[in-house]
Structure 1
């Protein structure tokens, strides 16, 4: 067998076997590296490179070495699940770097971080003043987690005591100019509905890069031609506006009529409609 073909086959075998071992080790090896996983990653890479290019020894020697090394992170993870002490030993502990707006210099030195390193990580989290930070901790993965003081946190609907509709994932019903049947069926829609919505928007199917339907049944379109602007659906907002007009009309009728019985009926209907509007407002005014 020619040397180039031998190297190609060994390289292919190394990649396939590494893929299998990575699947066994799990996603954590990709997401973050502990001390052991860092060492294992370097070692496996070195063995795989040797396996691909070293043609004198049998290939199964390298496979055995890869298997033995890959067992270590799996074993250590199992031990870490069984013991908090071993987990802290293998993976380390989180370190508090800022508490109540004050940098803990001793902990910073312990992690061998400079003030520039700390400020860089804070800026990545969109934090520019240390005094605004209630709590910042360096995780075992090396990431910095930051909790702002309450007065510096972004305002949410909960702070304003506003009701909002529950967040639900929109369904992509058009991708690359093709209608996706499965997401449509999940929402109880069909191709005829999509074509009707495209006709309303004056857009051809082949010109649509991406089309998403939210839980309110509104279709949002992104076209291949970015210069063409597609108006956002207004059906829900128009529905709320129509309800508001009806409620206002009922109040006007209640004020204008001289019949006391009719006045009470109009007032009662206006109040009932207002209650309904309060309930559906989060859904219609997103």
Structure 2
């Protein structure tokens, strides 16, 4: 029984040691590993396992070995931040695989990647034709960064010279049927506003699984009862429709009146309103 108790205490102590080392080294050790970090992580785990279960080994020596590897990893990351050359040696650098639509076979062989490996990485980027790629870099972590040729890239509002509104993060103001008062305050809303919006949507607070306020200040809900369909916010589409109707009415008034002064006034305001609609439509059409 003493042996099992000894393993228990060893396990707890080594878990704490590994946790502290991971906190010192940083999040990078558990996210995108370099070659060195990968080797160091495996070695630390092996030493910990041997120190925990290898009762014939020296406990303090195992802990000391882990501390050494943790310290070396910490120093490596520290000097990597200070020196670009050192960082390139330890972490590696990106390798260009495709340039100007041309596959660089020598670089591919240098990284010991086959054509099948490259095609697999491209398919993971939803690219099935090498000829569609303008530029591709194999990152040190083994991931492929791809830049498609201009004619193969998705069309964006910038390409159409359209001005789009800035998006803000949504605020989660209801979670599991409870109001998140801090988030509600950060969104610039009050409980009175929230209860009014819930009443408009025929929803009760207890039945709301998730409620969020978007960047336009509109409330969206997800209910516990999936059979109940929540009406979508209509304020912006209704406002856009009202503006377009008003602009159309002004044009009709300009055509129907015989007074030249009134005709000019209606036409002028119709033009101004049309320009305003063109500016606001990206904000109101969503």
Q: Give the whole-Å Cα distance in 1 for the aligned partners of 2:45 and 2:266.
A: 79
Aligned positions of 1:118-197 closer than 5 A = 118-197=118-197
Who is 2:219 aligned against?
219
Q: Deviations over 1:68-112 (max 9, x none)?
A: 111112212222233332222111221111222332222222111
Q: Give the whole-Å Cα distance in 2 for the aligned partners of 1:146 and 1:227.
A: 42
Aligned positions of 1:29-108 closer than 5 A = 29-55=29-55, 59-108=59-108
Q: Give the whole-Å Cα distance in 2 for the aligned partners of 1:10 and 1:36.
A: 27
* Range that drifts further, 135-144 or 251-260: 251-260
Length-normalised TM-score, structure 1: 0.93
Aligned positions of 1:10-29 closer than 5 A = 10-29=10-29
Q: Deviations over 1:103-125 (max 9, x none)?
A: 22222221111111111110100
Who is 2:249 aligned against?
249
Who is 2:113 aligned against?
113
Q: CA deviation at 1:59?
A: 4.0
SS at match of 1:140: coil
Q: Which runs of 5+ in 1 are unaligned?
A: none
Q: CA deviation at 1:152?
A: 0.1
Between Structure 1 and Structure 2, how many residues are aligned? 286
Q: CA deviation at 1:262?
A: 2.0
Q: CA deviation at 1:170?
A: 1.1
Q: Give the whole-Å Cα distance in 2 for the aligned partners of 1:81 and 1:146.
A: 26
Q: Deviations over 1:196-232 (max 9, x none)?
A: 2121111222222211111211111122333333232
SS at match of 1:226: coil
Q: Give the whole-Å Cα distance in 2 for the aligned partners of 1:260 and 1:174.
A: 57
RMSD, aligned α-carbons:
1.8
Q: Which runs of 5+ in 2 are unaligned?
A: none
Q: Give the whole-Å Cα distance in 1 for the aligned partners of 2:87 and 2:76.
A: 8
Q: CA deviation at 1:237?
A: 0.5
Q: Deviations over 1:3-59 (max 9, x none)?
A: 323322221221122111111101111121112211110111012212322445664
Q: Give the whole-Å Cα distance in 1 for the aligned partners of 2:63 and 2:105.
A: 47
